[in-house]
Structure 1
Amino acid sequence: MTAPRQPVPPFTRETALAKVQAAEDAWNTRDPERVAGAYTLDTVWRNRDEHLLGRDEVIAFLTRKWEREQDYRLRKNLWAFGDDRIAVRFQYEWHDADGQWWRSYGNELWEFDELGYMRRREASINDTRIDESDRHVTPGEGDLPTW
């Protein structure tokens, strides 16, 4: 049997905020295995125009993502929540192999099972080129500001 992944639904404001912070912390490790551990084995994702099914596809996707999005740093904010759902807005900064910096903005819709694992994730994301001098954060300086 799979152990619960706290906090579990139904969510309160406090537990939804904790779930969002845990996701932000995990994604900022850039460790595909660790991040994928928060999702059901048969998780369903839409990320931009990619559709993924299951943890193995999530791990492969995240591996490709963080090879391309170098020095990735993410900030997530709770937007809304319900019994087993959470909506977040986020922004992250990264640079490509040519050294071009980007800021990516988006929204995610999350749905959880009764044990607190995410069974569905839908993400819409837009990218904006930025100059390095326009970055909100440089390595070691902490989190991006909230919106």
Structure 2
Amino acid sequence: MSRPPLPPFTRETAAQKARMAEDAWNSRDPERVALAYTEDSVWRNRAEFFRGREAIRAFLTRKWAKELDYRLIKDLWAFDNNRIAVRFQYEWHDAGGRWHRSYGNEQWEFDEHGLMRRREASINDVEIAESDRRFRWTAPGPRPADVAGLGESPA
């Protein structure tokens, strides 16, 4: 299975890969997202460590059951050969209706087929007022073209 664009990445293809990941995660479909990773992909998400597509599917299912009305923006931070670093923000609310903005960085490593074989994510959450939300497009679904990335938005 191949998942273009393939390494080695250029600025354009690395940014395309980041946007494709953003769009997939905004679908909130664990099956769709998991297909972007190798069968034995290694993950660190916050303080959780796991390996493989089945673990990825289970993790994402738990995540989106807790992080409701999830909306994400990822921006390319750096790239080299088969590695990409992104920064991201996402907004969500918990079962009690409290809104949060999560800030993070990810480091990705890809195999020759364009599948991610390693993902390391560091994430911090901040509770926000509903009126402070910035990500208000209809979800699930991709961020509309007229909604700016993080480079154009405040911290």
TM-score by shorter chain over 0.5: yes
- 5+ unaligned residues in a row in structure 1: which ranges? none
Corresponding residue for residue 43 of structure 1: 41
CA contact (8 A) 1:136 1:144 kept: no
CA contact (8 A) 1:80 1:87 kept: yes
Corresponding residue for residue 11 of structure 1: 9
Question: Does residue 73 of structure 2 align to residue 75 of structure 1?
Answer: yes
Aligned length: 145
Corresponding residue for residue 138 of structure 1: 136
TM-score by length of 2: 0.90
CA contact (8 A) 1:137 1:144 kept: no
CA contact (8 A) 2:74 2:86 kept: yes
Residue identity over aligned pairs, in percent, reads 66
Corresponding residue for residue 89 of structure 1: 87
CA contact (8 A) 2:38 2:117 kept: yes
Show the 5 A alignment for 1:18-57.
18-57=16-55
TM-score by length of 1: 0.95
- 5+ unaligned residues in a row in structure 2: which ranges? none
Letter in 1 for 2:60: L
CA contact (8 A) 1:91 1:103 kept: yes
What is the deviation of 1:52? Answer: 1.1
Letter in 1 for 2:68: Q
Equivalent position SS for 2:150: coil
What is the deviation of 1:133? Answer: 0.2
CA contact (8 A) 2:74 2:149 kept: no
Question: Using the alignment, how far apart are the partners of 2:149 and 2:17 within structure 1?
Answer: 19
Corresponding residue for residue 60 of structure 1: 58
What is the deviation of 1:53? Answer: 0.4
What is the deviation of 1:139? Answer: 4.0
Letter in 2 for 1:23: A
